[in-house]
Each structure stands twice: as C-alpha cells, then as structure tokens.
Structure 1
C-alpha cells in the first residue's frame, strides 16, 4: 500500500491518494484543480473508490464534485459539518478572495469513531475537533500513516481563529487521539511537509511548551 501527496490550489492544500496493490484508491481532501487531479488518476490507471474529507473548509472541498462525478464515488464527511459543503459562510470561502466554493451534500456522514472498511482499506476514524467542529483523522495501520487534515502539522497545529475553532479542544484532540498512535506513524497534513508522531512528540512547540 502506498500514498501520493498532491498540493493543489492557490494555498497548496494537500490532497492525498492511498493506493492498494489492485490499484484501487481512496482520495482525501481534493481541494482544487479537479481536472488535473482526475488526469493524474487516469494517467496512473487508478480506480477511485471514495472521497474522504478530514473536514469541510473550502480549501479541502473545491474539487469534490468534479472528482466525484468523474468516478461516480461517494463522499464521506463528519455529521457536524454536513451543511458546510453547500454553505460558503460555513466552509469559509466567503471570507477569502477565491469566490464562493461549494459542493453537493456528502453521501455518507461519519457519526462516531469507528473502523472504516472500503475494499482492502481498513482505517480507524478518529474524531479530532478543534480546527473545526467536525474534523476527523483517518489512521491506516497497514500503511502506517494518519491523514490528519489541518489538526497537526510539522512543528505546528491547525489554526483555531475561524468559526467553530477551539485551541484547547484541538490540543486535547492531538494529545488524546494522535500522539497515542505508534511513534513511527507518518502524519499526512493538510498543508506543508509530512512529519511523524515521534517528531511532533519531541519537538512541536505547541505540544511541548517550548
């Protein structure tokens, strides 16, 4: 099992593709540039099975409909953000200069922490609010990765100054749900470079009081 990182759009939001040995794949946070994203999938002869959203801020959902319609696949988001896809005021796009960004409602709502199984992919859905009310992280033990969205970054944490943000809750989410993962786990963040749980435990100033 392998993963691909594709920074997309004007603020370079990381979309990810997780691929199994049958060339089936899961798509995480296709935030922009849907045509180019679909071309990449076609070029590598991949078979998408689903779109999984870590949260529904505008920079993570901009290409959702273009990708969903191309491959006829379902979209997953946490129930706390079920209305964010259709509402620019909730997803934040009305605050910035990128126009009103929306997508059709999700096909599946994540309601609680659970194990999500799609074909050969098995992931633990971790509820990690704080950056937004419905933020989730997807931990895939087989690939030794966690798709953390905008909860945890290399040397930093997600912003909490947008509506629904809560820094104390985010710190608690990171400590309780992410830093308890195996230290060798690779953290695939919504922006910037990848990191590891061990590295953030040792050196992240937001988590260690440096």
Structure 2
C-alpha cells in the first residue's frame, strides 16, 4: 500500500509530503522546501528509507531544501519540468529575498514532462505538466490512492498565483481544466498550502474555476 504524510515546512507553511511503500518502507519526499531536520526526524520515526526527491516546481518554499537534502543523503532530484530551470538558477536570490536559509541551485537528476511516470516501490504515479503558476510546474497523480499532489496549481477555494515571472492565469486555468479535472471528482488533491480537498468540490464551487 502507498501511504503519505504531509508536513508543513518553512515560514510559508508549505505542504511537504512524505510518500512511502508500506511493505518495503521505500520513501520519496515531494517539495522539501526547508526544515530538513524535522523532515528527517519523521523519516526515522516511521523507519523509512528515503530514496528520492520529487519537485512540483522550483519556488523557494518548495525547492529550497532540495539541493542540500540531495547532497546530504546522495539522493536523486526528480522534476520539475525543464521550463523551471530559471527558478532553480535563482534559488540563492529567492532565499535572500524571502529570508530563507541560503539555498543551493542544482541540476535535477531527471527532468519531467507531461505523460511521464515516477516509481516508488511497486507504485507508479503519473506526471502531468501543469504550467501557469510557474512554466515548469508538474503534478503527481496516484490513481490507486485517488490522490494528486498538485503543488501550487490548485487550492481549496482558490488557485495558484500568476503574478510571478512567466506566470500565466489563462494557462493555469487550462491546466486545471484539462489536466486535473479528468482525474475524477473523487480524487483528493494535496495542495502546496492549506487543507486537502476533492477535485469534484473545486470543479463545482471554486470561484476561479468552478463550473469549468
């Protein structure tokens, strides 16, 4: 069985998700933006073996700890899409601007594209490219778990900001309608900030994309 636990990290309370394969205890972390010691304490508490870092996008609160964590444990960084390279290159400037600990730029071990998959133990998750918040944003969909880890694409009652460099509101709405809604109304989405929700509820009532 695939399990997950969400840990809010950094002053931005970013939802860092720890996923693991229950029988093997193999684990991946999605968006380790910071607070690495707290994250690693949770890994030890659950007796997990952390093997991969997955990134939805390269804003500081999502990717700020990725370079250090990869270096500390010798882990591969998987994602995001190559269009976020400029955000990765700018991590040191982002960390200074927002008062984060110094963040290291890095080159992902593997870039992700729409239609790719990532594997954890016996579980396969689907990758969807969902630009708009950032141009290289990706989402991880676990159909068997009926969960989607959507970063800052969609929130309960809201959507991601598009006023950052290369953000695009219309593109973000298209990403949600074309890439998220087909995952099904019952799918629970884990956003980058705030509480979980269902895609069906957002499709019906979200003021930014409801009724689409």
* Aligned pairs (5 A) from 1:26-175: 26-77=28-79, 78-88=81-91, 92-98=94-100, 101-175=103-177
Could you tell me which residue of structure 2 aligns to residue 4 of structure 1?
5
Could you tell me which residue of structure 1 aligns to residue 181 of structure 2?
179
- Aligned-pair CA distance for 1:34: 0.8
Q: How many residues align?
A: 209
Could you tell me which residue of structure 1 aligns to residue 17 of structure 2?
16
Inter-partner Cα distance in structure 2 for 1:70 and 1:45: 18
Could you tell me which residue of structure 2 aligns to residue 197 of structure 1?
199
RMSD after superposition:
2.0
Moved more, 41-50 or 115-124: 115-124
Q: Give structure 2 stretches of 5+ with no counterpart.
A: none
- Aligned-pair CA distance for 1:100: 5.0
Q: Give structure 1 stretches of 5+ with no counterpart.
A: none
Inter-partner Cα distance in structure 2 for 1:94 and 1:131: 21
Moved more, 152-161 or 80-89: 80-89
Normalising by structure 2, we get a TM-score of 0.91
- Aligned-pair CA distance for 1:99: 5.9
User: Does the 8 Å CA contact 1:15/1:28 hold for their aligned counterparts?
Assistant: yes
Which digits, 9 at most, give the CA deviation of each residue in 1:111-133, with x for residues without a partner? Answer: 34223334312011001000000
- Aligned-pair CA distance for 1:93: 3.8
